[in-house]
Each structure stands twice: as C-alpha cells, then as structure tokens.
Amino acid sequence: MKPIPYGRQHITQEDLDAVNKTLLSDFLTQGPAIKEFEDQFAAYIGARYAVALANGTAALHLCALALDVNANSTVISTPITFAASSNCIRYCGGKVELADIDPNTLLIDMDAVENMLEQAKPGTYTGIVPVDFAGRAVNLEKLRAIADKYKLWIIEDACHAPGGYFTDSKGIQQKCGNGQFADLAIFSFHPVKHIACGEGGMITTNRKDLYDKLQLLRTHGITKDPQLLHENHGGWYYEMQELGYNYRLTDFQAALGSSQLKRADEGLARRKAIAARYDEAFAGTAIRTYPVPATEGHAYHLYVVHTQRRKELYDHLRANNIFAQVHYIPVHLQPYYQQQGFRKGQFPKAEAYYEGCLSLPMYPTLTDDEQEYVIKTILTF
C-alpha cells in the first residue's frame, strides 16, 4: 500500500494543458488568466468581486490592511485554526483576542464572543475573524447581527470551505465567502485545499470600496488608472498611492485554478461521500465524529475524529503508512502567542479538543479501497 496522506491535490491532463497554454502565452503574470479565474471564482462562490493573490496568508494580510487594522485595533478570532487567521492582525500591529470554541461545531462560540463584547468598554473591539473550520460554515447571519450591534467588521477565513454553506433564517443557502454578511472572505489554493494552484489565494467581497483598495494593495499600491491619477505625465506614468506589496498570483497558477474550479463540485461530492462512509464506520465505536449536529453544507476540507488515545492511534496509523494529521495546535499555545500574553488553560474547550483530535485522509482521489484500509486500521487498533 502506498503512503496515504491526510490531504492531497488532484492534477489532470486538462490542468496540465491549461498551464502549458498559459506558459506559452504572452503573459506569465497578471495577464488575462487572472481576471478569468477571479470572475469564475466569484461566480462559483456567489460574491460580486474577487481578487487573486499569492497565497491565503497574503489575502488575510491585505484584508486586515484594507480594513485599517493598526496598533489601536483589537480583533477577536478562534484558537482552533491555522495561525495565519490571527497573524494577519499582528502583521498590522493589532492586538488579537480569542474566544473559545463550541465543542460540538468546533467553530467560534458566539455566546463567548457576545460575552466578551458585553463586558468590554464600547469601542474596544474593531473586528472579528471567524473560521469555517474543517469546512463547516459559520452562521454569519447570526455573527453579523452581533457585529452590527458592536460596529465590528468581519473577515471570514473560508480556506476550508469553498462550496460550503449554511442555511439562513429565511431558508436560503448562504455560501461561504459570498459576501452577504462578511465584509471580506479569504480562500487558499495550497495543494491540500479544495482547489490547488501550488500557492495561491483569493479574497471575495461585495464591497466595491474594499475591492478597489485591495487591487491597489496587491501591486505595491501602484495605479496607472487615469481616473485615479493625481497627475499624468504620459503613457509611462504611474503613481504609488499607498504602501502596498507584491502579492500577485501568476497567470499560469490562475490557469491551473480555473481548470481545477471546473471540478470543484465533483470534488465536493466525493468529499461528502467519503465523510458519509467514515460516519457510518465509526458510529457506535469509541471514535467520536463531527460535525454535531450533522450539517448539509459541510465542505469537508478535513474529516476530524476525536479519540482518547490520539498519540497511540496517530503512531499506529503512521506505522501502517497512513499519515493522519492534527488540526490544530491551538493558536494561544504557540510560543509566539504565549509571548503575547496568552496562557494555557485560557480556552479549555479548544484545549480539550486538541488533546484528542485527529484528521483522517480526506481528498477526492482517495479510493474506496484506501478508505476501507484506513477504517480497518483504525477499528482493529
């Protein structure tokens, strides 16, 4: 049996052809493939605007910049996520605070968020970064109501959830990143995510003001748009109007992204089928599964279980060529965040989850035989 990772990309001949075609075209970066990918992605997610970027972390950084995060900002996020969700606030000098998770959904606990907001002096907090962890959509309708009451912006970290959704109070399926409730949402195209570009990221939004600002920030803060220039010395003329970055995606990566996007629904359906099989296999065993309660709009970036004997099971799987993973070591336990003043014991639900969590192999090309081997290896442990 060849090694089975927890996640992996799926590259087809069609993907290779799309990349090759772009490599041989006139543009390697910021050509037509970028805009095509942005338009197609925005349509898929149901958002008005999309901005392609070098990676998901760059996307988070530009979101924080576009929302004017600075040394006076305090932002709330969740401890169970990849550190980048919080790091983007620190890049801009802002302060990060965390709210514990709901142990059933594994998402940020909205009651905990409301408590923090109620107890703080008005104006203490400026924004919130919820995460659609594992692929389960945060109920952003609820979170928006809280955010509005306290005048907070929302950056939705939707890296795990392209194609995921929650059902709102009117019965409408609200897709992750569709910009109905969050000001900005971000996605990653790292190979283990649903859509692979090698490295790559995307911001989606319905706000034109933020979209314009993001486009500027992506390329050094430079514009050549005659409408926006203060002066104009001729055809060569450009202005650097803000302190921006080079966070561009290349055209051939965008071509790969567009090609992958065509198979996004197919991949999502396969992920759901794999999750259903795991659910069935572990029902009534000592292996705890998520999400609780079950939810239709889950995008299953990860299939997480919880076990009392995580380390032994992890090692046992490794010895059998199955490379499960742990998502995540809580953000506040990282040495850097301990230096920022966080303490062990501060978020007991996140810590209890971390003690037993394990992400099992979950990717569209995982075969039925491979999955049965994973299940058997776990159940005979």
Ligand X SMILES: *Cc1c(COP(=O)(O)O)cnc(C)c1O
Distance between alpha carbon 69 and the CA centroid of its chain, in Å? 20
CB of 57 to ligand X, least distance (A): 3
Bond into 226 cis (ω within 30)? no
User: Of the two residues 81 and 320, which places its CB atom closer to ligand X in the complex?
Assistant: 81
User: Of the two residues 84 and 261, which places its CB atom closer to ligand X in the complex?
Assistant: 84
Q: Does 190 bind ligand X (CB under 6 A)?
A: yes
Amino acid identity of 5?
Answer: P
User: Of the two residues 105 and 188, which places its CB atom closer to ligand X in the complex?
Assistant: 188
Amino acid identity of 69?
Answer: V
CB of 55 to ligand X, least distance (A): 4
- By rule CB under 6 A, what count of residues binds ligand X? 14
Strand ranges in the chain using DSSP code E only, listed in sequence order: 4-5, 49-53, 74-77, 95-98, 127-129, 153-157, 165-167, 173-175, 184-188, 201-205, 222-223, 239-240, 288-289, 303-306, 322-323, 357-360
Q: Which residue has the tokens 């071509």?
A: 255
Closest CA to 260 of 7, 2, 6, 10: 10
User: Of the two residues 188 and 259, which places its CB atom closer to ligand X in the complex?
Assistant: 188
Closest CA to 180 of 75, 45, 39: 45
Among 64, 84, 305, 358, binds ligand X (CB under 6 A): 84
Among 85, 223, 320, 371, binds ligand X (CB under 6 A): 85
Piece of 29-37, 153-161, 206-214, 269-277 that binds ligand X (CB under 6 A):
153-161
Catalogue the long-range contacts made by 314-317 (C-beta closer than 8 Å, 24 or more residues apart).
314/358, 316/377, 316/381, 317/374, 317/377, 317/378
Among 42, 69, 131, 299, binds ligand X (CB under 6 A): 131
CB-based contacts of 288, cutoff 8 Å, min separation 6: 282, 305, 306, 307, 356
Piece of 52-60, 122-130, 165-173, 232-240 that binds ligand X (CB under 6 A):
52-60
Tokens linked to 181: 């409730």
Q: Does 61 bind ligand X (CB under 6 A)?
A: no
CB of 201 to ligand X, least distance (A): 5
Q: Does 159 bind ligand X (CB under 6 A)?
A: yes
Q: Does 160 bind ligand X (CB under 6 A)?
A: yes
Among 37, 41, 44, 82, binds ligand X (CB under 6 A): 82
Tokens linked to 160: 């795990």
The residue of the chain with the least Cβ separation from ligand X equals 56
Separation in Å, CA 259 to CA 4, 13, 14, 20, 83: 25, 10, 7, 12, 29
Piece of 50-58, 106-114, 305-313, 334-342 that binds ligand X (CB under 6 A):
50-58
Distance between alpha carbon 273 and the CA centroid of its chain, in Å? 22
CB of 346 to ligand X, least distance (A): 20
Among 9, 18, 37, 56, binds ligand X (CB under 6 A): 56
CB of 185 to ligand X, least distance (A): 11
CB of 203 to ligand X, least distance (A): 12
Q: Does 254 bind ligand X (CB under 6 A)?
A: no
* Burial class of residue 83 (count of CB atoms within 10 Å of its CB; 0-12, 13-18, 19+): middle
- Kindly list the residues in this chain that would bind ligand X in the complex (CB under 6 A): 55-57, 81-82, 84-85, 131, 157, 159-160, 188, 190, 201
